[in-house]
Structure 1
Amino acid sequence: MQASLTLIVVTFIRRELALGNGIPFGAIFGSVQFSSIVYLWSKEFAGTLKARFSSSFTKWDLLLMIIVGSILFTTVGRSSAIAMRPRLDKWPDGGTEFYLNATEDELWPLTLNDSAIPATCANITLSTTCISRDWVSISEGLLPFWPNLNQMTTMAEFFGLPSKKSMKQFYKIQM
């Protein structure tokens, strides 16, 4: 909003300089300084008030734009920032139902093992259908801990998964 107000004053001054009868030199800088309300009490603005314009219509138009623009500039900036502040809220929606072609045991197995992984992925492979090229290190290093977990057992604190480009590290999460 503030940029729009500045653009209005700059466009008026540019039009008067290019197509009109011109304006006093000090009035040219009114578009730069009117963003502060203090400009209305400055010597520069007083000079624009006392200056001779080729047309009184141009003078009063420019002065009115600067005064109204300066007042709006100081109030609109803060209020528009408050109006545009994002609010976190729950928005009503229609909801979407979707169905998975799997049983509950397939989605949330009670025992985690490598039975759902294709046999071709058991070895290091570059196939894009495999979960990981390093499936062997996951199945031998991490999966043996999961079938026997309960409230009283613990899992490894750290598990490293090396690859050619990175070293992924898994940590136990304390809850």
Structure 2
Amino acid sequence: GAAAPGGAPLPWASLTLMSTGPGAIDPAEAERTGLLVEVLPTMGLEEIWQVMQQMEKADGERARRLPSPEVAAFLHRRWLANVPQALITTGGHLVAAPDRVAELAAAVAAGLPALVVSGVHDYAWPVPEQTAMAERLGARRVVVADAGHSPNAEQPAATAEALLAHWV
């Protein structure tokens, strides 16, 4: 198996990065996340969900890629299952995360098989940025057609196929 710098064996057999970039989210998405973090202490999750849906429908680019009703219902249920404090903490990390790809690249270079997966229309981290990250890692790259930031929900069969090809 792969070993960490210094020779200790890594606790994983492989690395999969899905719908993530090398650091903080895209600046436009960071602005939206900042607004979300501000209102979470004072608004309910359902109310925030409704506002987010209105914002997405008003965004011409996103409106063209709205998920199917089945996927939208799943994403809604998943949103409502959150804990507001966890969303606040996660939001803070998303807007300020440092680029740590060089550290990951050391593990990948030591023999850890790596895969970077995203939808073709990811709004949180630009797809070219995710592709560049895969190149920096020397990772296999899969872009799932007809999917956005949640290829596992939007195109589960194609996503599962990509994961199985990497894991098996």
TM over 0.5: no
Higher-Rg structure is 1
TM range (shorter): under 0.3
Report the structure, 1 or 2, having the larger helix content: 2
Name which structure has the greater RCO, CA cutoff 8 Å, separation 6+: 2
Using the size of structure 2 for normalisation, the TM-score is: 0.21
Q: Report the TM-score, using the length of structure 1 for normalisation.
A: 0.20
